[in-house]
Structure 1
């Protein structure tokens, strides 16, 4: 494995986009990393609000009427896990894209490496956070934030174990065409009613609040500052230069969003 800073990286402080395009643009960034040797770290947000389903999540776990009524889009990720409700205020998301032969082949070691800037950013924000100290059982399996807490890739605050440590960030990876893509969701603020409302079943919003915390609760800083700190930490971690998507990448992402990530076949049945 080479030193990350010896390679060409770009930091993209991305515009808000709808969910299908956000997922498509990660796949396009993977092609760019493999074919052109340009690696990417980025921060981003979702507009309109979106429920992103885990790759194997069953569609009957979703309250489609609630999502339609509340104007919440639905897409499906390439990564596993449960569904996550994202909006432009409460959620801060990030992506890391690198060729597979430049990062650890061991999944846990790769998580540890790729989460370094996330933990560094949370620390700079004033959040006492770390990987979960112990595994905790699921409360409600279809929801990512209410699933079992896994010390390998779930970050909690305050750092440590026990019921006082609540989840603040979920992170997931997948490998495609010799590239590793990690994305994650960090809770800036909580929207428990909308989050649990996206799912079928009788899940109390208070249950969500007992399991999940946020940057706002832990540190009290504003969202713009939190996003800036996260972008800075990602860029410093790999020596990235400020950049932006090329028009041909955006064009390819829009096409892929139409054909795949925004299609009923992909969202409902993983066809695409």
Structure 2
């Protein structure tokens, strides 16, 4: 069931940019833009949207889209001359004509698409490293969303990168959610010049701006949304760190592509590899995987 099957449809957005729509037999769906290789929508079989997108998001180059799942590569954050969060999230990807085969353990009944990003001449001027970034976005029969990345060094020298899947979850109310799976971890606090602290609480709750990177986390993180009686499960491989972000009231008002009150209905929790960048020798490949699911909870 590859790119041409009944569950996979290629369309265009209003700016003429290609999008791939994945549907499973039960009616769940995901929409992926070739701009940024970005998942913009993930819906349940009842049509309920699980990802947040700002009503003020800008959907055309050179801006990154505020919402969904932007891919931050080859860096997360702001360092050196590279733009914040790297350039992968505002480049046009292509549909991969020569994707790697499905893994033997992969279910055959999932809808998926394979995308590819290679650096342009301009990209090589700002980050002089040749790479192939292959991304497979899958929607399983259960409605789970999976993103699997393969990044290969096709350079003559080693290079290092950091990466994050900046996932904007749609929530009922930021004051009604809690995140579990981060207890006792060290984190870098971006609101305090990346100073290192240790998480003291048994669950993370929100009453002000948060911008942290939790280090060396377990492979499953849960976001409990009490009001909607549902829990997001984030399962990850090859992504040791977890970014948590909510801009809160004051910061929201300074962002042109974000509504003043929208901080109440979104929470970013990101599978990431940030603290220790990944280094690839020539010809080496790194694989990372993120799987998102949603389950009913009390």
* Structure holding more strand per residue: 2
Q: TM-score, normalised by structure 1?
A: 0.26
Larger Rg: 2
* Structure holding more helix per residue: 1
